[in-house]
């Protein structure tokens, strides 16, 4: 009943496309599963349909992704769009949902390329309609050419925030302000990593150019902002914050927030893989070998889902994972051969990684979002507040799992994607211990909610 | 030009046709082929997609990538569908989710 | 009291340990409860939430009586905890059902309950309900259902809020909660006990409520925990407007509206992972009982390890070689919580307690073993 194939790639962003391409080139049967209707992941959303005008607005980095789609022309790649994976076993058995019906797949090797999520950035009022992630704003622009209603505020920190600001300026939409939350001390901390980052000077040049573009656009730019609070009940109406020693309130009809991105670890956690805490990126990462391999022979992870590196790094990681899988399945004879083939990828990767320490230090999330005021809703799905979580810590909850049992954070449909890190940070702060000692939610399938009808069909 | 809290389309010399019409809460919504239900609703000025089953508070799209489950609506009688993951189709009937779904799937009926 | 000394040490902060600790504290004992970290097996987190009478005690009539005793005490217990902590336990005891999809299963179950009724002298409430009458009570039941057994004393509660409320009440009452580490060693010394936790503690009396952890701890105190893990998997759906007021052994609707769906039994050792085949089987059964569930989504699954004794009944055993040490094991931590917090705590404390508790001593396993030999 279940199809048996060589390689399953989960996620058709840059890492997944690259992995599918390389495995197919080595003669393996490849199925590429992606839940979106079109390939490209988040970074290259709608890359196939974006015309020249939109590409100009979105910038050269985006446009460069277009050629990636040609990978799907390879006949050996069986690309299945709209496929939502909800279970993956250590043996490479995949359960997924396609067009409302249950499907299964058995792969001799699985490469997981599910990318990243925005880091949760809880603050009072962040759940009100009209408050979205900067990534959401960018998706609306890419997929539907939509501009948010004015006045638009951008709040938070990280390269994506500035990229979106610049893209709106190019589109003729001037955001009312950038409310940047980068603490002053980050600049000093990042300076030390600057020399190392010069190896990856293209990143620095691009970043510099973005900031210059924003400056030319004369966007009001508040720095080291604190005490964010979004006002409005049916819809966002204003953002309050403190910057430059003054309390401020700026009216807005749209508020895009961003505080960096973190690996999407739902699948790696559901497999009970080992994770390590990355103090620089302030996130959990699956423990991987040099080829993206995990402690499970059948499973590899590549791209931002392994560690945040960006789209180009993801291509190289995808290829490395593919080479390893090809060797493991006997499509490439010797390990010496894949080591040889990998040389160029590794060299390129090293350059991309060179900028990370600088970027991670500069855009380290401000403490305020890691330890927000009591009234802040931290688990959006179940509406559990930071104060309630602190209360559970006082009742003796040592980590997120007991907290989840007592108060329900993490039990909603997002399965902890937008609260897991925050809940752990709050407990760590309440207990005065490092976050890596607090841990994370126990994650189990389904990776995404799935109907009982589909689940029961698998045993019928 | 934008009105109030509506998302608006990038101005173009030849605007994309709003070729798909579907229903939302009794009103017609015109959308472009390939739009998701979420982007079409935002472009039509609808920001509240549901009221939460926990507190009744208004919620709308947040991540636009199928991860946050905020944009849940009823589509053609099926409850709790992620509007950002579903492409518009002519004649679709979309309704807000008002609190929890009912067992039979209606979003608003008791 | 000197620091790190306590009158009674309770090992294990799940539903059993916390109920016992709370009960002892209310009796005025100085109690310290020892518990481990965030990733404990914690059967308490995997509990279905049933306060279940029907079927209990098929192998031991006193278990039937003990279960009914606890179920009857539950309303006062919930009221008391609610008043002390402000937490609504969502107690509901409207009667419950075991729903059948085939006649053989139904007949076998009725047979078991008939024998159970005879064994307790006739006073035992249950009846078989035909599908038509079942649909009067639960209209959503599907055509594949052949009937159900109804017991008017069955009910359900929110098991997670129960543990939270017991913990809050215990702390409010002045109980001491030491967590974050497993108890690796207990040393009896001169009529008292040294417990090796994050630091050594001295206790006059000790109660082992560590669930599966009792296996290692019991021999240190001249006790034996004749238990084994039995895995149960559960799936939970998205929230649904209330439609199922009666708990059933396979499906119940929580206070938030989600459906909790079980039930499975597996012998897989200490593996608390979920598995696609079992979850699929559970979903299949649920859709046959309630066909409308086909369109409902499951949002999470979990598995937990029940603490099963050889006959499925509790073990309450005082140590013969180490007076002051007691073993408590059971798999019905929710149903028995009311009795554990009252009558069992009294028994542990050496006060007057229902005679039937003697039936739960571990000696019965020797009898079973020798009669099997």
This model of the complex carries an ipTM of 0.96
| Alpha-helix residue ranges (DSSP H) falling in chain C | 15-26, 61-85, 103-119, 131-137, 159-172, 214-217, 276-289, 337-339, 345-348, 363-372
Binning chain B into helix, strand and coil, the percentages to the nearest 5 are 10, 30, 60
Report in angstroms the alpha-carbon separations of A232 from A240, B73, C239: 11, 22, 27
In tens digits, what is the pLDDT along chain B, a chain of 110 residues?
345 779 999 988 888 899 999 999 999 999 999 999 999 999 999 999 999 999 999 999 999 999 999 999 999 999 999 999 999 999 999 999 999 999 986 544 44
* Measured distance CA(A38)–CA(C339) in Å, rounded: 59
Average pLDDT over residues A301-319: 96
Assigned domain for C249 exists: yes
Average pLDDT over residues A298-322: 96
Assigned domain for C190 exists: yes
Q: Judge whether residue A414 has pLDDT over 70.
A: yes
Residues C206 and C317 in one domain: yes
Report in angstroms the alpha-carbon separations of A221 from A217, A243, B100, C35: 11, 10, 41, 51
Q: How crowded is residue C121: how many other Cβ atoms within 10 Å of its Cβ?
A: 8
CB B54 within 8 A of CB B75: no
Domains annotated for chain B, with CATH where assigned, are 20-98 (3.10.20.440)
* Measured distance CA(A439)–CA(C242) in Å, rounded: 35
Q: Would you place residue A197 in the very low, low, confident or very high pLDDT band (cuts 50, 70, 90)?
A: confident
Q: Give the per-residue pLDDT at B106.
A: 54
Assigned domain for C58 exists: no
Residues C251 and C294 in one domain: yes
* Measured distance CA(C303)–CA(A329) in Å, rounded: 34
| Alpha-helix residue ranges (DSSP H) falling in C175-228 | 214-217
* Measured distance CA(C283)–CA(C289) in Å, rounded: 10
Q: Is A292 exposed, middle or buried (0-12, 13-18, 19+ CB in 10 A)?
A: buried
Residues C126 and C168 in one domain: no
CB A378 within 8 A of CB A424: no
CB C138 within 8 A of CB C129: no
Contact C241 B78 (CB under 8 A): no
CB A377 within 8 A of CB A346: no
Structurally, what CATH architecture does the domain formed by A120-259 represent? 3-Layer(bba) Sandwich (3.50)
Interface probe, candidates B50, B100, B105, chain C, greatest C C-beta count within 10 A: B100
Nearest to B99 by CA among B77, B76, B75, B80: B80
- Closest partner residue to C239 among B78, B100, B110, by Cβ? B100
Q: Give the per-residue pLDDT at B109.
A: 44
User: What is the CATH number that goes with domain A3-117+262-332?
Assistant: 3.50.50.60
Q: How many CB pairs under 8 A join B and C?
A: 33
Residues C193 and C210 in one domain: yes
Residue written as tokens 């499970």?
A296
Q: Give the per-residue pLDDT at C367.
A: 66
Token readout for A456 is: 């029961």
Residues C280 and C234 in one domain: yes
Strand C192-196 and strand C200-208: pairing?
A: antiparallel
Nearest to C178 by CA among C200, C163, C194: C200
Largest CA distance in chain C: 66
pLDDT in tens, A333-383: 999 999 999 999 999 999 999 988 999 999 998 888 888 999 999 999 999
| Residue B105 contacts C where some CB pair is shorter than 8 Å | yes
CATH number of the domain at C338, please.
3.50.50.60
- Closest partner residue to B103 among C140, C256, C297, by Cβ? C140
3-state SS of C125-171 is CCEEECHHHHHHHCCCCCCCCCEEEEECCCEECCHHHHHHHHHHHHH
Residues of chain C with pLDDT under 50: 1
User: Cα-atom radius of gyration of chain A, to the nearest Å?
Assistant: 22
Contacts A448 to B, Cβ<8 Å: 66
Closest-CA residue of B relative to C290 is B103
Report in angstroms the alpha-carbon separations of A54 from A46, A58, A143, A160: 10, 6, 10, 17
Q: Give the per-residue pLDDT at A142.
A: 95
Q: Give the per-residue pLDDT at A203.
A: 84
Question: For helices A311-328 and A14-25, what crossing angle results, to 10°?
Answer: 30
Closest-CA residue of A relative to B68 is A414
Tell me the sheet residues that pair with C97.
C150, C248
Report in angstroms the alpha-carbon separations of C370 from A29, A101, C222, C362, C363: 61, 55, 20, 13, 11
CB A41 within 8 A of CB A88: no
Report in angstroms the alpha-carbon separations of B68 from A72, A381, A413, C222, C263: 28, 8, 8, 53, 30
* Measured distance CA(A3)–CA(A103) in Å, rounded: 9
Overall number of domains in chain C: 3
Q: Give A281 or C69, the one with higher predicted confidence.
A: C69
Token readout for A296 is: 């499970």
Q: Judge whether residue A129 has pLDDT over 50.
A: yes
DSSP letter assigned to residue C351: S
Token readout for B80 is: 């709790």
pLDDT in tens, A27-79: 999 999 999 999 999 999 999 889 899 999 999 899 989 999 999 999 999 99
* Measured distance CA(A162)–CA(A165) in Å, rounded: 5
* Measured distance CA(A366)–CA(A108) in Å, rounded: 43
Residues C166 and C221 in one domain: yes
Residues C185 and C319 in one domain: yes
pLDDT in tens, B81-94: 999 999 999 999 99
Residues C356 and C285 in one domain: no
Assigned domain for C115 exists: yes
* Measured distance CA(A17)–CA(A144) in Å, rounded: 23
Q: Give the per-residue pLDDT at B2.
A: 41
* Measured distance CA(A424)–CA(A398) in Å, rounded: 10
Largest CA distance in chain A: 66
Sheet holding A226-231, edge to edge: A226-231, A238-243, A246-251
pLDDT in tens, A97-107: 999 999 999 99
* Measured distance CA(A241)–CA(A124) in Å, rounded: 11
Assigned domain for C259 exists: yes
pLDDT in tens, A147-171: 999 999 999 999 999 999 999 999 9
Residues C292 and C192 in one domain: no
CB A8 within 8 A of CB B39: no
Q: Give the per-residue pLDDT at A416.
A: 97
* Measured distance CA(C133)–CA(C113) in Å, rounded: 20
- E strands of C218-347, at which residues? 227-239, 251-253, 258-261, 297-309, 315-318, 325-329
Domains of chain A, residue spans = 3-117+262-332, 120-259, 371-437
- Closest partner residue to A401 among C38, C171, C256, by Cβ? C38
Q: Do domains A3-117+262-332 and A120-259 have the same CATH topology?
A: yes
Q: Would you place residue A199 in the very low, low, confident or very high pLDDT band (cuts 50, 70, 90)?
A: confident
Interface probe, candidates C139, C236, C239, C299, chain B, greatest B C-beta count within 10 A: C239
Residues C133 and C172 in one domain: no
Nearest to C348 by CA among C3, C4, C31: C31
| Residue A49 contacts B where some CB pair is shorter than 8 Å | yes
Domain of residue C126: give its range.
96-152
* Measured distance CA(C285)–CA(C243) in Å, rounded: 18
Chain A interface residues facing chain C, Cβ-Cβ under 8 Å? 87, 89, 93, 95, 272, 392, 395-402, 405-408, 411-413, 415, 438-439, 442, 444-446, 449-453, 455-460
Residues C242 and C294 in one domain: yes
* Measured distance CA(C56)–CA(C332) in Å, rounded: 10
Residues C130 and C271 in one domain: no
Contacts B110 to C, Cβ<8 Å: 241
Tell me the sheet residues that pair with C156.
C50, C92
Q: Give the per-residue pLDDT at A459.
A: 73
Residue by residue, DSSP assigns A220-283 as -EE-S-EEEEEE-SSS--EEEEEETTEEEEEE-SEEEEEE-EEE--HHHHHTT--EEEETTTTE
Q: Would you place residue A1 in the very low, low, confident or very high pLDDT band (cuts 50, 70, 90)?
A: low
* Measured distance CA(A346)–CA(A280) in Å, rounded: 22
Q: Give the per-residue pLDDT at A264.
A: 98
Question: For helices C61-85 and C159-172, what crossing angle results, to 10°?
Answer: 60
User: What is the CATH number that goes with domain A371-437?
Assistant: 1.10.10.1100
């Amino acid at each position: 009943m279940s199809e048996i194939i060589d390689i399953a790639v989960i996620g058709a962003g840059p890492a997944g496309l690259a992995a599918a391409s390389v495995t197919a080139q080595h003669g393996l049967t490849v199925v590429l599963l992606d839940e979106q209707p079109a390939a490209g992941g988040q970074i290259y959303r709608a890359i196939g349909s974006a015309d020249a005008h939109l590409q100009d607005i979105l910038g050269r980095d985006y446009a460069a992704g277009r050629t990636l789609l040609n990978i799907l022309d390879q006949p050996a790649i069986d690309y299945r769009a709209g496929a939502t994976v909800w279970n993956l076993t250590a043996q490479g058995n995949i359960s997924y949902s396609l067009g409302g019906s249950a499907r299964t797949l058995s792969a001799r090797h699985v490469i997981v390329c599910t990318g990243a999520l925005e880091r949760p950035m809880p603050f009072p009022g962040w759940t009100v309609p009209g408050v979205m992630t900067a990534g959401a704003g960018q998706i609306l622009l890419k997929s539907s050419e939509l501009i948010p209603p004015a006045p638009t505020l951008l709040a938070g920190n990280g390269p994506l925030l500035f990229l979106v600001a610049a893209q709106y300026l190019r589109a003729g939409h001037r955001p009312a302000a950038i409310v940047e939350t980068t603490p002053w001390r980050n600049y000093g901390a990042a300076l030390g990593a600057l020399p190392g980052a010069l190896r990856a000077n293209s990143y620095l040049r691009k970043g510099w150019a973005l900031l210059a573009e924003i400056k030319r656009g004369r966007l009001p730019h508040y720095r080291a902002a604190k005490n964010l609070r979004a006002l409005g009940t049916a819809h966002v109406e204003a953002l309050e914050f403190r910057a430059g020693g003054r309390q401020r309130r700026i009216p807005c009809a749209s508020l895009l927030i961003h505080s960096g991105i973190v690996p999407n670890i739902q699948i790696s956690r559901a497999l009970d893989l080992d994770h390590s805490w990355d103090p620089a990126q302030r996130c959990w990462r699956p423990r991987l070998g040099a080829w993206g391999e995990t402690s499970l022979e059948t499973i590899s992870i590549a791209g931002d889902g392994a560690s945040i590196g960006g789209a180009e790094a993801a291509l190289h990681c995808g290829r490395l994972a593919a080479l390893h899988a090809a060797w493991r399945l006997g499509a490439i004879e010797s390990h010496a051969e894949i080591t040889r083939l990998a040389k160029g990828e590794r060299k390129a990767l090293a350059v991309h990684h060179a900028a990370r320490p600088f970027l991670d230090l500069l855009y380290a999330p401000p403490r305020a979002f890691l330890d927000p005021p009591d009234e802040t809703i931290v688990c959006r799905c179940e509406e559990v507040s930071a104060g309630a979580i602190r209360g559970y810590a006082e009742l003796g909850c040592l980590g997120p799992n007991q907290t989840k049992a007592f108060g329900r954070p993490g039990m909603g449909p997002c399965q902890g994607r937008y609260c897991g890190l925050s809940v752990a940070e709050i407990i760590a702060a309440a207990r005065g211990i490092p976050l890596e000692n607090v841990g994370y939610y126990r994650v189990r399938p389904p990776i995404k909610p799935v109907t009982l009808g589909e689940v029961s069909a698998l045993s019928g | 030009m934008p009105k109030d809290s509506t998302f608006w389309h990038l101005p173009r010399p030849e605007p994309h046709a709003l070729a798909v019409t579907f229903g939302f809460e009794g009103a017609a919504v015109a959308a472009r082929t390939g739009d998701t239900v979420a982007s079409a609703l935002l472009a039509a000025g609808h920001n509240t997609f549901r009221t939460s089953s926990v507190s009744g508070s208004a919620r709308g799209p947040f991540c636009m990538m199928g991860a946050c489950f905020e944009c849940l609506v009823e589509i053609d009688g099926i409850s709790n569908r992620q509007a950002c993951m579903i492409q518009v189709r002519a004649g679709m009937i979309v309704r807000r989710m008002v609190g929890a779904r009912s067992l039979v799937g209606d979003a608003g009926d008791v | 009291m000197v620091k790190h000394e306590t009158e009674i040490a309770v090992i294990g902060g799940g539903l059993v340990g916390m109920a016992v600790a709370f009960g002892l504290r209310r009796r005025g004992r100085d109690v310290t409860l020892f518990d481990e970290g965030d990733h404990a097996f914690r059967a308490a987190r995997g509990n279905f939430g049933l306060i279940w009478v029907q079927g209990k005690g098929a192998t031991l009539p006193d278990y039937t009586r003990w279960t009914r005793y606890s179920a009857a005490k539950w309303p006062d217990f919930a009221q008391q905890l609610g008043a002390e902590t402000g937490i609504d336990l969502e107690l509901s005891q409207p009667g419950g059902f075991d729903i059948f999809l085939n006649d053989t299963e139904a007949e076998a179950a009725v047979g078991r309950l008939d024998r159970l009724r005879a064994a307790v002298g006739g006073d035992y409430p249950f009846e078989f309900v035909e599908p038509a009458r079942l649909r009067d009570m639960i209209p959503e039941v599907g055509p594949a259902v052949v009937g159900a057994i109804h017991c008017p004393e069955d009910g359900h509660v929110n098991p997670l809020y129960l543990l939270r409320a017991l913990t809050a009440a215990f702390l409010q009452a002045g109980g001491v909660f030491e967590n974050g580490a497993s108890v690796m060693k207990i040393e009896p010394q001169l009529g008292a006990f040294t417990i090796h936790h994050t630091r050594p503690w001295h206790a006059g009396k000790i109660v082992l409520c560590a669930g599966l952890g009792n296996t290692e701890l019991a021999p240190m105190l001249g006790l034996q925990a004749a238990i084994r893990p039995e895995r149960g998997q559960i799936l939970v759906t998205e929230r649904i407007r209330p439609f199922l007021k009666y708990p059933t052994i396979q499906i119940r609707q929580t206070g938030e509206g989600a459906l909790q769906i079980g039930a499975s039994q597996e012998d897989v050792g200490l593996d608390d992972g979920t598995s696609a085949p079992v979850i699929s089987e559970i979903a299949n059964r649920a859709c046959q009982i309630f066909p409308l569930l086909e369109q409902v989504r499951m949002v999470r699954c979990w598995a937990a390890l029940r603490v099963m004794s050889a006959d499925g009944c509790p073990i309450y055993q005082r140590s013969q070689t180490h007076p002051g040490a007691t073993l408590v094991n059971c798999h019905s931590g929710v149903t028995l919580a009311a009795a554990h917090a009252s009558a069992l705590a009294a028994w542990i404390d050496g006060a007057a307690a229902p005679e039937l508790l003697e039936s739960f001593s571990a000696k019965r396993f020797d009898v079973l073993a020798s009669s099997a030999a």
